[in-house]
Chains A and B, each alone.
Chain A
């Protein structure tokens, strides 16, 4: 029965990774250049979940299968004064929508809380079973 706590840990880990991707998206909402300094807007990241504990294990749980780049088009804004503007004065900004990120963040946070509550319930159940022996 103790594998339920292990399963909870996989859920917590997956939701935290999701939260990390949301944080990275929010931080880079105005980033128009890559690490090398070239004019390449930041592409939105998405954490793709898959059932199963992952890492070659066949136990139940959840894991992040991959961090996928969002292929949707970049946001374009007319800003001729910007150093990364093209000949027409258009600047390409990351394909990130703040409202979507906020909703994702809330969902990850609630899912994390639900997992913690499940682990608390599991602990209470273990305690009640262990009291049979004591």
Chain B
């Protein structure tokens, strides 16, 4: 219980949700890449804006309620069919530039989140060892 509270304080649950989100998005991006030549395939994505808006809402709710009463685990990540791309003759709406840039952005975000999470875990570990980092 003590460790659980220690790990779930501050930004850690938010970072964890962002890591989960980037992993789910990476899976969709991977699917888009392998299906770049598949006729009738439509690209899939999850909106980062919608996800972050939901997170923001939860953070505001959490700050106004008792600690531990508002969780982040049930935030939905709905798969969307982005209609921003043009349709090719094989009825596939790929945009390789968009997919590759989304992939880089998502991977960077993932690495940033894991790095921040690691720093938080390190500081908890340092506190437990009574050591100044």
Contact = CB atoms under 8 A, between A and B. Distances in A.
Interface of A is mostly: helix
A129 B121 CA distance: 13
A133 to B, nearest CB: 9
A74 B36 CA distance: 30
A107 B111 contact: no
Contacts of B19: 129
B37 interface: yes
Contacts of A49: 35, 37-39
Interface residues of A, number: 32
A62 interface: yes
Size band of the interface chain B makes with A: 20 to 34
A62 B39 CA distance: 11
Given A4-B27, A125-B26, A51 B38 contact: yes
Nearest to A124: B107
A50 interface: yes
A62 B107 contact: no
Nearest to B33: A118
A28 interface: no
8 contacts: A1-B23, A14-B34, A61-B31, A118-B34, A121-B103, A128-B110, A129-B110, A131-B114
Interface of B: 19, 22-23, 26-27, 29-31, 33-41, 96, 99-100, 103-104, 107, 110-111, 114-115, 117-118, 121
Interface of A: 1, 3-4, 7-8, 10-11, 14-15, 18, 48-51, 60-62, 107-108, 111, 114-115, 117-118, 121-122, 124-125, 128-129, 131-132
